[in-house]
Structure 1
Amino acid sequence: MSPTLESIACRPLAAPFYIGPLLIDPPILQAPMAGFTNFAFRQIVREYGGAGLLATEMVNARGFVWLDEQEAEHPDRLWGVAEEPRPLAVQIWDNEPATLAKVGARLAGEYAVSVVDINFGCPVRQVTQKAHSGSYLLKHPERMGDIIEQVVAACAPTPVTAKIRLGCTRESINACEIAQVVEGAGAAALTVHGRTAADMFRGSADWDGIAEIKSHLHKIPLIGNGDLDSAQKVVDAFQRYGVDGVMIARASLSKPWLFAQAAAAIRGEPIPPDPTLAEEKQLMLHHYELVCERFGDERGTMLMRKFACCYAQGRHGAREFRKHVGTVVTPQEFNQVVESFFPVG
């Protein structure tokens, strides 16, 4: 039986760890999530605290190079990266070692990011089948090793990490083999999502599968990812599965305060309460202001629809709120829908 939060009060459960020279304290990471983990979201997470390393959305390396060649503004997914507090990771994806190395070098040099992470886990068809990147590369360990070696050389001394899934399908799980390739190629840490690419986000993450990888790594830390939606589950991940760190993903979109709660739990401290609905409403409006400051009122309002739906998730009246907020196009409409339909109980 796993220890409960009450039984471990005042007893630290997990130690900080290093990614290369970078101390990750607390050992809780915010996952890169396409379309969500932009500067505004990262600011919200920072205000609550509890994340030892934050990450951007994943950046298309080939697109970055094209924008560079056109002397255009760099991708929106790098919004805020140059100025915001560290530590900060930027995740990149592609299948060409030279392209990834070129972009990694720019991120490490010009942007001075803390970590360059390579995505080998995205299961989305546009990335896998069309671009032969993300989790598609799990079928080609040698190619992965070549990519990592070149990016590590280009980014030094900035550490390079890799994020993978357990395999492409349940019948072709090869994460232990991949882990050895990742470590041998010079990566500074490995993050594993406990599903296969074919699983997408269905079913439950296989944490036993994640734990099995630990014995195949000898020098670098293992970070587990998947289904961490409560402080108790973070505690379980450290206590039962022996990971060095955890990465919180989708659950944080509706609960950005989860990092702070999890950090308190692993320190053996009292868990901060969830915000009240009134506080959550104000948080959402603050998030909206940050988005509109960057993208303007019209585009900012359109982008905020999906975030607003996340904030209402699991609340009584959430369906009605989603129905109305999904059509707003102006700040006036957004604020009216929030006042009229945001859950209050």
Structure 2
Amino acid sequence: MTPATLSTPTADQAPSEPIAQPLFIGPLKVDPPILQAPMAGFTNYAFRQIVREFGGAGLLATEMVNARGFVWLDENEAEHPDRLWGVADEPRPLAVQIWDNDPPTLAKVGRRLVEEYGVSVVDINFGCPVRQVTQKAHSGSYLLSQPGRMGAIIEQVVAACAPTPVTAKIRLGCTRDQINAIDIAQVVEGSGAAALTVHGRTAADMFRGSADWDRIAEIKPYLKRIPLIGNGDLDSAEKVLDAFRRYPVDGVMIARACLNKPWLFAQAAAAVRGLPVPPDPTLEEERELLLYHFKLVCERFGTKKAAVLMRKYACCYAQGRPGAREFRKHVAVIESVEDFHEIVERYFPRSS
């Protein structure tokens, strides 16, 4: 089963007025203005294909790519990162997110992504709070304390990638005592970026607490020409609709919630267009979707590696359901196609 075969509503009512208009990232029209967040370890080609088949995402994104690692692989004539699996051939629009702290390295990789992969958008990560990226590599959200370096990075990447638009993703600041998103937003725009995405937490927050959308909204008056995209805690079509109604954002980005609901984009897109919201798939349909997802990963990595990679995805699909813990316990040790199919059949939740 593919997402295209899942149940859809009967649109027996006329649509109301759309709540949100398309946004433009440079010359690129994003319609609907609902973006899929880049998430390390998850938003690979197989996941993006599933999201694309459901529909509703105006712009999809890869996992974030380590620019320095990309250069090393290139110089040593190794295969380019697995995180670029499928990028050259899949439908557009598509964004690739890169991270590092060295302007020339990021500019070099950005140019390669434009020239060799033909990406629609190059996004720079200034928001990742993970220690390996911040403290060890002095990248991601670490750079929020160094606006001058951020500006230099953006300027060089913009120049290298032109005319392909370059965007930036940030958090509110490093800590609650160091919220500087307004100042950073002006640096981002002044350095030539074509859009800004803001996650409504600080780096120190990680993913604790709630995203502060009021703080995101405060940034809007300080941006003169580029769109503001809000990110954080959007786990339902109703919350997406509420974000557009309550806050002056031009677009929204859905992150962790889509990992166990890849159909969320289609639901959100219907809501902001004033159309009936499609229902969630049945658990039987979700089970078949999980097997389809596994098949896509197998085609790239072979069955043994795919079995390991699918452990985390399988847990996402079962999240919040009765029996999810028992399912996770068994799926965590799968090693073969037979194991995967048997465990999904026996233990995947059968009730909500």
Which interval holds the TM-score relative to the shorter structure? over 0.9
What is aligned with 2:10? none
Partner of residue 37, structure 2: 31
Q: Distance in 1 between matches of 2:220 and 2:290?
A: 39
1:9, CA displacement in angstroms? 6.2
Q: Where in structure 2 are the equivalents of 1:225-304 lying within 5 Å?
A: 225-304=231-310
Which amino acid in the other structure matches residue 330 of structure 2? H
Q: How does 1:328-339 map to 2 (within 5 A)?
A: 328-339=334-345
1:172 Cα deviation after fit? 0.2
- Secondary structure at the aligned position of 1:281 is classed as helix
In the other structure, the counterpart of 2:9 is: none
Query: Residues of 2 paired with 1:269 and 1:84: CA distance?
Result: 28
Q: What is the identity, as a one-letter code, of the residue corresponding to 2:179? A: I
For residue 175 of structure 1, what is the aligned residue in structure 2?
181
Structure 1 residue 127 corresponds to structure 2 residue 133: yes
Is 1:196 aligned with 2:202? yes
Provide the rounded CA distance (Å) in 1 between the counterparts of 2:35 and 2:272: 14
What is the CA–CA distance in structure 2 between the aligned matches of 1:111 and 1:25, rounded to whole Å? 22
CA–CA separation in structure 1 for the residues paired with 2:78 and 2:344:
36
Helix, strand or coil at the partner of 2:208: coil
Compute the displacement of 1:76 (Å): 0.2
CA distance in 2, matches of 1:21, 1:282: 38
Which residue of the partner structure matches residue 61 of structure 1? 67
Residue 118 of structure 1 and its aligned partner are, at CA, apart by 0.1
1:33-48 map, 5 Å: 33-48=39-54
Equivalences for residues 76-95 of structure 1 within 5 A: 76-95=82-101
Q: Work out which of the residue numbers 211, 215, 221 in structure 2 matches 1:215.
A: 221
Deviation at 1:61, TM superposition (A): 0.1
Matched residue SS, 1:66: helix
Q: CA deviation at 1:11?
A: 2.1
- Structure-to-structure mapping, 1:158-173, within 5 angstroms: 158-173=164-179
- Structure 1 unaligned blocks of 5 or more: 1-7
Distance 2:237 2:95 in 1: 23
* Equivalent position amino acid for 2:85 in 1: W
Number of residue pairs aligned between Structure 1 and Structure 2: 338
Summarize deviations over 1:8-30 as a string: whole Å, max 9, x none.
96121000010000000000000
Partners of 1:9 and 1:72 in 2: CA distance: 51
C-alpha distance in 2, partners of 1:331/1:96?
Answer: 42
Cα distance in 1, alignment partners of residues 341 and 268 from structure 2: 32
SS at match of 1:110: helix
**1:320 maps onto 2:326 in alignment:** yes
TM-score between the two structures when normalised by the length of structure 2 = 0.95
2:131 and 2:263 mapped to 1: Cα distance?
Answer: 31
Q: 5+ unaligned residues in a row in structure 2: which ranges?
A: 1-13
For 1:303 and 1:10, locate their aligned partners in 2 and report how far apart those are by CA, in whole Å.
Answer: 42
Q: For 2:238 and 2:346, locate their aligned partners in 1 and report how far apart those are by CA, in whole Å.
A: 34
Letter in 1 for 2:289: L
Name the CA distance, whole Å, in 2 between partners of 1:131 and 1:141.
17
Q: Percent identity?
A: 78
- What amino acid is the match of 2:105? T
For 2:230, the equivalent position in structure 1 comes to 224
SS at match of 1:52: coil
CA distance in 1, matches of 2:287, 2:16: 32
Is it true that 1:205 corresponds to 2:211 in the alignment? Answer: yes
Cα RMSD between the aligned structures?
0.8
Instruction: Report runs of 4+ in structure 1 exceeding 6 Å deviation.
Output: none
Asked if residue 21 in structure 1 is aligned to residue 53 in structure 2, the reply is no
Q: Write the distance in 2 (CA, Å) between the matches of 1:318 and 1:134.
A: 33
AA in 2 matched with 1:104: G
What is aligned with 1:115?
Answer: 121
Cα distance between partner residues in 1 of 2:239 and 2:338? 40
Name the SS of the counterpart of 2:117 in structure 1: coil
